[in-house]
Amino acid sequence: MKFMKNRTAVGVLCIVVSLAICFGITPLFNRSISQKTEIVRVAKDIKVGDEITNDMVQTVEVGGYNLPENIIKTTDTVIGTYATADLVVGDYILNTKVSQTPAYENAYLYNLDGSKQAISLTIKTFAGGLSGKLQSGDIVSVIAPNYKEQGLTVIPPELKYVEVISVTASSGYDANTGEQLSEDERELPSTVTLLVTVEQGNILAELESEGESHLSLVFRGDNETAQQFIATQEEVIQKIYNPQLEEESADTATEPQPNQSEESHNPQTGESEGE
């Protein structure tokens, strides 16, 4: 008899719990699933480093249940930012996949101010690119075998000290970002991008199309010292392409200063000439 009462109590309790689930918890769960929210979704494929524009994204309404907390819900938040990962059509955009600043491997391209330009040089052989050891910020010399078909291997005076701003693999991704990669993921550099003047760029373009080139490392270290090498190189270029300015500068330095007395003093006699 006592056993029957226990079974009846358990049965009643199960019925009560079932009713609570059916008429209480389930409606709340269904309501949370049915709630809609607007989120930002990718409308056009975006590559890492791309600046996100209005035509690349769209706002759509989706179920709000189980969405990531860091999902972006307004286009104003994402337009003008830079993708830190490849995004394909239909992807939701998380705030961890965009950045307010350009991706590291592209940042140098946004620092060009018109005084210099970036130009890439193909690394035709493994040895020609310092065996894949080049890094951003390195100062290198560009060696030209059979320079201008003269049968001589030289370092053109304009290319003695040149700054490396990027080393890029054939896939288009920078190969010197410092990221730790496995042997399977690691790619060999295919091009090196240099920061140059117009004159240097013209010579590099000739070497790229007509000849071979090798890169030798001159300096790797602090930026202040690196800039001293660059300053020395700029002086050489100034003398080569603007000799007239150099002469004028030298003449100006030897000209007498304004208001200088017309009388000159003879240090041997102690008398003033012209008296």
What does the angle CA 129 – CA 157 – CA 112 come to, to the nearest 5 degrees? 65
Q: Are 87 and 45 in contact (CB under 8 A)?
A: yes
Which CATH class for the 36-99 domain?
Answer: alpha beta
Please tell me the distance from the alpha carbon of residue 231 to that of residue 161, in angstroms, as a whole number: 9
Mind listing the pLDDT tens digit for each residue in 68-96?
A: 888 998 999 899 998 888 899 999 999 88
Q: Phi and psi (nearest 5°) for 93?
A: -105, 120
Mind listing the pLDDT tens digit for each residue in 130-171?
A: 888 888 889 999 999 888 888 889 999 999 999 998 888 877
pLDDT at 265: 44
At 64, the pLDDT band (50, 70, 90 cuts) reads: confident
**Is the model more confident about 224 or about 268?**
224
How many CB atoms are located within 10 Å of the residue 168 CB?
19
Which helix (H) or strand (E) segment holds residue 194: the answer is strand 189-196
Copy the structure tokens of residue 26.
């389930």
Copy the structure tokens of residue 135.
């890094």
Average pLDDT over residues 47-62: 88
Q: Is the pLDDT of residue 258 over 50?
A: no
Q: Is the pLDDT of residue 245 over 50?
A: yes
Please tell me the distance from the alpha carbon of residue 255 to that of residue 82, in angstroms, as a whole number: 55
Provide the β-strand partners of residue 166: 193
Copy the structure tokens of residue 49.
């480093």
Maximum average pLDDT range among 15-29, 118-132, 165-179, 252-266: 118-132
Distances from the Cα of 22 to the Cαs of 18, 31, 34, in angstroms?
A: 6, 13, 17
DSSP annotation string for 42-63:
ESS-B-TTPBP-GGGEEEEEEE
- Measuring CA to CA, which residue among 133, 140, 225, 226 is closest to residue 178? 133
Copy the structure tokens of residue 166.
């990027």
Q: How many helices (H) and strands (E) does the chain have?
A: 6, 11
- Measuring CA to CA, which residue among 239, 66, 226, 71 is closest to residue 158? 239
What does the angle CA 16 – CA 20 – CA 21 come to, to the nearest 5 degrees? 120
Domain residue extents for the chain = 36-99, 106-252
Q: What is the dihedral of CA 33, 35, 36, 39, to 10 degrees?
A: -70
If you ran DSSP here, which 8-state letter would residue 118 be given? E
DSSP annotation string for 191-238:
EEEEEE-HHHHHHHHHHHHHS--EEEEEE-S-HHHHHHHHHHHHHHHH
Q: Among 125-134, 158-167, 172-181, 235-244, where is mean pLDDT lowest? A: 172-181
Q: Is the pLDDT of residue 59 over 60?
A: yes
- Measuring CA to CA, which residue among 125, 106, 143, 146 is closest to residue 218? 143
Please tell me the distance from the alpha carbon of residue 22 to that of residue 20, in angstroms, as a whole number: 6
